[in-house]
Amino acid sequence: MWVVRWLLALVIIVLILWFGWINLEQMRDPVTFKFWFSKYQVELQLIVALFITFVLGALVWFPVAMYQFIHNKAAMRNLRKENSRLQQELADFRNMSIEEQATSAGEEENDLV
């Protein structure tokens, strides 16, 4: 899955660079950005607009990435605890004698009835 994400990021970066290359002569000229449903407009150089959108994208990405990282760490910690508990339980069963296993199995059947 991480390969697909890196490939998608690479494609996006290449598209941004290509967009900048084909608009190289316009990078120095101001570009007018008109906002939807409003009368406001801003004149910026295209390179400045690209930089601002990159920074805003990074600012949006960072909290999302941190949330995913923390969530994954917590899930991994819980899985390790569960794995450790199950390994201990398995070790206890391996160390138990056959008579003890039969006795505990009989007690479990009585508890179910």
- State pLDDT tens for residues 37-90: 777 888 888 777 878 888 898 899 889 889 999 999 999 999 999 999 999 998
Query: Which pLDDT does position 104 carry in this prediction?
Result: 66
- 86 CB-side CA count, 13 A: 6
Query: Which pLDDT does position 54 carry in this prediction?
Result: 82
Long-range contacts of 54-59 (CB under 8 A, 24+ apart): none
pTM value > 0.75: no
Q: Number of H helices and number of E strands within the chain?
A: 3, 2
- 13 CB-side CA count, 13 A: 6
- State pLDDT tens for residues 13-50: 888 878 877 877 766 777 787 877 777 888 888 777 87
